């Protein structure tokens, strides 16, 4: 084979062309195999917005709604809880939700309380670290993870802490505040989760 | 050898099966294969306790494949039915509990055997030249085992299955730019769901076992090509009988080591069945308590942890917090200076400086979460580089100097400590301990080219001792 004189140029080029064509066809076969694993049409259709009735949600209470298979929390905050949020400004990593604008916090919730109405916090109850669902720790108390705890959420997986506005504490594994899903008030007692008026 | 010559070779021994063996050998190299891999594969005569774990790993893999096949007969890969079908196997299928406990205990047993098998390689330098490729194939087997056990752990659809998978798939989410789409592609849904369960089932029962069997075959072929290492870390092929060409320190694998390994299997089975029959959950280490609760996508259990064999890497993952980034940055600068100070090539020095600057820039651009995931990956993949990181003149720990002995001891302590901490809740003290152990873990690998060269080794013997 090292003897170049015996090699037909035409044949060699045909071999190269055939190899390239066959290789391209082989590589293209990856497309159906990869695409097959993407979310199906049914899964995509399940991502529709859901309605939450908050008329019976008493102050201090939290309710959980399922949206796209994820827990969405609606917390009716008391005046003390709102005061606790203000007190936590120094402890949290991103007090005014400046990071990743538009992705974590929609513009209408970009305030200290991270909500449209200060009393009602709407967040996706999934830790921004690795997707665990943090636990309610609403009482101000001395906790093993924080001696001056003002209430919020504790993630059992890797110890991330969130205050009562879903803002992540400094120097914890989670990088971002809890995600505020797109939402809007249909009437005072009904919230639509998964859609907002931004586009309308 | 020509076909005619092969035909003339007589079948060993004259027995009742001679005729049929000859018939087969004319059509398939049966006796030749038997000889190459067993009766005329010459292994060093000084194998010790540590050499049980290679054959034991293969033995447990067979247990896993057979019990797995049987479990598939009654398991249903459907988010609505999976948990109940496992309970059905446990309570209603004859011997179903036995089949499942064999499989769940087998998973942990396989990791114990493989970890000890890998540690053996680190003790005696079995990954060193000419066995680098053998080691790499072995590491690929290890990665397949990790993937297989990860996919399999989702199948019972308990709380720990569900949230463990959720956390690990979300690791990919941390990768900049492509991460979220990649995680979506792996799950096939916005969260771990029925679609995820089905594909994990497919990979667990078909994809991974096929890859594993292929890799194990290649691992054995590579081993029999280069020959086994031994506790002295010297090559027995260097001293051969001048007449037969057989290594003087070699003995046929069969019957000598088949008998030895059978003894190992007997001892192993004693321990294994003690666990299967009397403590299948092994205090929550082999089967976690929370996995006896059906998966609830809206509620994470109060304390989640992976199974014990993943906890060292998991500890590294959660040890990377914002304040640890400065330690990593300092480590990177130190490494860069060390390389620049000890390498003459200008190109290498320049490249090191550039890489270090890019990394330093990256440490403070991307979240610590990204770097947690990166180091989590590096902590596993770094084993691939062992053959090239180790510059010691001696292979075996018997002839290595004190530095490597201390380094290996510290590494084992760090590995075990990380493993233990991974099963514990996060506290300030635990995080600090995990960070120290993480530093030791990486220092063992990254500083290896320097400390193994500095080490004062004893001369290796000519023949095995």
pLDDT digits (tens, 9 = 90+) for B370-384: 898 899 999 999 999
DSSP result, chain A: ---GGG--HHHHHHHHHHHHHHHHHHHHTHHHHHHTTSPPHHHHHTT--EEEE-TT--TT-EEEEEETTEEEEEEE--HHHHHHHHHGGGTBS-TT--SSTTTSS-GGG-STT-SSSTTEEEEE-S-TTTS--PEEE-S-EEETTEEEE-SEEE-TTT--EEETT-PBBTTSS--SPPPPPPEEEEETTEEEES--TT--
Kindly tell me if the per-residue pLDDT of B1 is higher than 70.
no
pLDDT average, residue stretch B24-52: 95
More confident residue, A196 or B464: B464
Chain A residues with CB within 8 Å of chain B CB: 34, 37-40, 43, 47, 64, 66, 68-71, 125, 129-135, 144-145, 155-159, 170-175
B441 domain-assigned:
yes
Domain endpoint, select from B287, B304, B321: B304
Please compute the mean of the pLDDT values over residues B348-365 and round it to a whole number.
Answer: 93
The per-residue pLDDT of chain A, averaged, comes to 86
Return the SS3 of B294. Answer: strand
Cα B116 off chain centre by? 9
Instruction: Write down the pLDDT at residue A155.
Output: 86
User: Cα(A140)–Cα(A81) distance, rounded to whole angstroms?
Assistant: 9
Cβ-contact B321, B431 below 8 angstroms: yes
B391 and chain A in contact, CB less than 8 A = no
A161-163 vs A152-154, strand pairing mode: antiparallel
User: For A136-182, what is each residue's pLDDT tens digit?
Assistant: 888 888 888 887 888 899 888 778 889 999 999 888 878 889 989 98
Regarding predicted confidence, which is higher, B367 or B265? B265
Question: DSSP letter at B41?
Answer: -
Query: Residue B77 is part of which domain span?
Result: 24-304
- Residue B2: its pLDDT value, please? 46
Residue B199 lies in a domain: yes
Query: How far, in whole angstroms, is CA B75 from its chain's centroid?
Result: 27
- Does residue B236 lie in a domain region? yes
The encoded tokens of residue A1 equal 């084979």
Please give the residue that has the higher pLDDT: either B302 or B103: B103
Three-class secondary structure of residue B356 per DSSP? helix
Contact list, A71 vs chain B (CB under 8 Å): 297-299
Which among B277, B304, B331 is the end of a domain? Answer: B304
List Cα–Cα distances, B98 to B152, B244, B280, B283, in angstroms: 17, 50, 10, 18
Tens digit of each residue's pLDDT (9 = 90 or more) over B164-209: 898 888 888 778 888 888 988 999 988 899 999 999 999 999 999 9
**Same domain for B34 and B128?**
yes
User: Span B34-52, mean pLDDT?
Assistant: 95
Partners of residue B322 in chain A, C-beta under 8 Å: 170-172
CA B405, CA B395: separation in Å to the nearest integer?
Answer: 12
What ipTM did this prediction achieve? 0.76
Shared domain for B228 and B206, answered yes or no, is yes
Question: Do B246 and B156 have their domain in common?
Answer: yes
Report residue A50's pLDDT band, with 50, 70 and 90 as the boundaries. Answer: confident
Q: Output the six-digit token pair for A70.
A: 């994820």
Q: Which of B393, B378, B400 is nearest to B331 (CA)?
A: B378
Mark whether B299 and B433 lie in a shared domain.
no
The CA distance from A177 to A169, in Å, is 9
User: Could you tell me if B263 and B371 lie in one domain?
Assistant: no
Whether B166 and A68 lie within 8 Å, measured CB to CB: no
Compute the distance between CA of residue A152 and CA of residue A174 in angstroms, rounded to an integer.
15
Instruction: State whether B346 and B279 are in the same domain.
Output: no
d(CA A20, nearest CA chain B) in Å: 28
Coil/strand/helix, residue B271: helix
> A4 to chain B, minimum CA–CA distance in Å?
31
- Same domain? For B238 and B121 the reply is yes
Examine the pLDDT at B4 and tell me if it is beyond 60.
no
Considering only CB atoms, which chain A residues are within 8 Å of B298?
64, 66, 71, 125, 133
Please report, for the domain that includes residue B394, its CATH number: 1.20.810.10
B177: which DSSP letter?
A: T
Shared domain for B287 and B315, answered yes or no, is no
B residues 271-300 near A, CB within 8 Å?
297-300
If asked whether residues B315 and B286 sit together in one domain, one would say no
Are residues B166 and B191 in contact, defined by beta-carbon separation less than 8 angstroms?
A: yes
Which of B304, B320, B351 delimits the end of a domain? B304
pLDDT of residue B11: 53
Range with the largest mean pLDDT of A131-140, B162-171, B405-414: B405-414
Mean per-residue pLDDT of chain B: 92
Same domain, B56 and B171: yes
Q: B46 in contact with A at a CB cutoff of 8 Å?
A: no
pTM: 0.85
- Whether residue A1 is predicted with pLDDT greater than 60 in this model: the reply is no
Where does the pLDDT of residue B298 fall: very low under 50, low under 70, confident under 90, or very high at 90 and above?
confident
Spatial CB neighbours of B205, under 8 Å, sequence gap ≥ 6: B68, B72
Classified as helix, coil or strand, B152 is: helix
Q: What 8-state DSSP symbol labels residue B382?
A: G
Enumerate residues 6+ apart whose C-beta is below 8 A from B308: B108, B285, B286, B419, B422, B423
Judge whether B12 lies within some domain.
no
Q: Which residues does residue B251 pair with via DSSP β-bridges, in sequence order?
A: B43
The minimum CA-CA distance between B300 and chain A, rounded to whole Å, is 5
Same structural domain, B322 and B367: yes
Check if the beta carbon of residue A194 is closer than 8 Å to that of residue A72: no
B45 touches chain A (CB under 8 A): no
**φ, ψ for residue B247, nearest 5 deg:** -55, 135
Residue B460 belongs to some domain of the structure: no
Whether residue A3 has pLDDT greater than 70: no
Position B465 in a domain? no
pLDDT (mean) for B235-263: 95
Residue B142 placed within a domain: yes
Cβ(B107)–Cβ(B149) below 8 Å = yes
Confirm whether B7 is domain-assigned.
no
What pLDDT score was predicted for residue B12?
Answer: 56
Q: Is the confidence at residue B161, as pLDDT, over 50? A: yes
Same domain, B117 and B215: yes
Instruction: Using the predicted structure, report yes or no on whether residue A47 has a pLDDT greater than 80.
Output: no
Phi and psi at B113, nearest 5°, equal -60, -45
Angstrom distance (rounded) from CA B349 to CA A132? 43
In this complex, the residue of B170, B188, B190 whose CB is nearest that of residue A37 is: B188
Q: Which chain B residue is nearest to residue A44, measuring alpha carbons?
A: B189
Min Cα distance A35 → chain B (Å) is 8
- Confidence grade of residue B10 (pLDDT, cut at 50, 70, 90): low
Q: How many domains are there within chain B?
A: 2
Q: With beta carbons under 8 A apart, name residues in chain A contacting B184.
A: 38-39
| Number of helical (H) and strand (E) elements in chain B, helices listed first | 20, 2
Q: Is the pLDDT confidence value at A198 over 90?
A: no
């Amino acid at each position: 084979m090292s003897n170049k004189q015996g090699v037909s140029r035409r044949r060699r080029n045909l071999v190269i062309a055939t190899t390239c064509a066959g290789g391209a066809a082989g590589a293209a076969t990856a497309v159906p195999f990869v695409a097959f694993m993407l979310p199906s049409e049914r899964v995509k259709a399940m991502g529709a917005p859901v309605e939450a009735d908050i008329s019976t949600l008493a102050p201090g209470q939290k309710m959980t709604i399922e949206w796209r298979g994820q827990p969405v929390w609606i917390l009716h905050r008391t005046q003390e809880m709102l005061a606790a949020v203000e007190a936590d400004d120094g402890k949290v990593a991103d007090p005014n939700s400046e990071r990743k604008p538009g992705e974590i916090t929609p513009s209408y919730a970009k305030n200290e309380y991270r909500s449209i109405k200060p009393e009602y916090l709407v967040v996706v109850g999934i830790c921004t670290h690795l997707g665990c669902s943090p636990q309610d720790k609403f009482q101000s108390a001395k906790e093993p993870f924080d001696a001056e705890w003002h209430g919020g959420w504790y993630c059992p997986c890797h110890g991330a802490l969130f205050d009562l506005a879903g803002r992540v504490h400094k120097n914890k594994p989670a990088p971002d505040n809890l995600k505020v899903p797109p939402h809007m008030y249909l009437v005072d007692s009904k919230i639509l989760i998964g859609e907002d008026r931004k586009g309308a | 050898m020509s076909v005619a010559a092969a035909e003339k070779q007589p079948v060993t021994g004259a027995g009742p099966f001679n005729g049929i063996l000859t018939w087969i050998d004319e059509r398939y190299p049966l006796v030749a294969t038997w000889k190459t891999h067993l009766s005329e594969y010459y292994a060093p005569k000084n194998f010790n306790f540590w050499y049980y774990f290679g054959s034991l790993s293969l033995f447990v893999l067979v247990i896993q494949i057979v019990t797995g096949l049987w479990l598939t007969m009654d398991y249903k890969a459907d988010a609505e039915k999976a948990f109940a079908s496992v309970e059905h196997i446990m309570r209603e299928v004859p011997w179903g509990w036995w089949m499942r406990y064999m499989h769940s205990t087998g998973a942990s047993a396989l990791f114990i055997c493989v970890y000890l098998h890998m540690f053996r390689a680190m003790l005696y330098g079995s990954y060193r030249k000419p066995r680098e490729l053998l080691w790499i194939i072995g590491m690929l087997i290890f990665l397949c085992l990790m993937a297989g056990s990860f996919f399999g752990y989702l199948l019972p659809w308990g709380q720990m299955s569900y949230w463990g998978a959720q956390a690990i798939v979300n690791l990919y989410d941390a990768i900049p730019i492509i991460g979220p789409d990649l995680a979506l592609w792996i799950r096939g849904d916005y969260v771990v769901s029925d679609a995820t369960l089905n594909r994990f089932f497919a990979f667990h029962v078909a994809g991974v076992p096929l890859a594993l069997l292929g890799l194990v075959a290649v691992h054995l072929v590579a081993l029999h090509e280069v020959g086994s290492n031994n506790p002295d870390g010297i090559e027995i092929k260097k001293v051969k009988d001048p007449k037969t060409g057989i290594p003087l320190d070699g003995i046929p694998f069969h019957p000598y080591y088949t008998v030895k390994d059978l003894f190992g299997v007997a001892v192993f089975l004693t321990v294994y069945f003690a666990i299967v029959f009397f403590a299948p959950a092994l205090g929550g280490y082999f089967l976690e308590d929370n996995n006896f609760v059906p998966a609830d996508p809206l509620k994470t259990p109060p304390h989640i942890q992976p199974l014990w064999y993943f906890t060292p890497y998991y500890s590294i993952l959660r040890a990377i917090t914002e304040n640890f980034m400065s330690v990593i940055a300092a480590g990177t600068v130190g490494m860069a200076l060390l390389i620049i100070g000890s390498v003459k090539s200008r190109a290498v020095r320049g490249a090191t400086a550039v890489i270090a600057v890019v990394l330093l820039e990256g440490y403070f651009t991307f979240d610590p979460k990204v770097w947690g995931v990166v180091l989590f990956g590096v902590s596993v993949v770094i084993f691939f580089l062992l053959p090239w990181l180790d510059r010691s003149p001696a292979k075996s720990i018997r002839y290595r100097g004190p530095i490597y002995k201390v380094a290996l001891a510290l590494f084992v302590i760090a590995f075990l400590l990380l493993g233990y901490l991974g099963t514990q809740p996060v506290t300030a003290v635990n995080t600090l301990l995990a960070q120290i152990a993480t530093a030791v873990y990486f220092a063992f690998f990254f500083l290896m080219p320097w400390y193994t060269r500095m080490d004062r080794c004893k001369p290796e013997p000519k023949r095995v001792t």
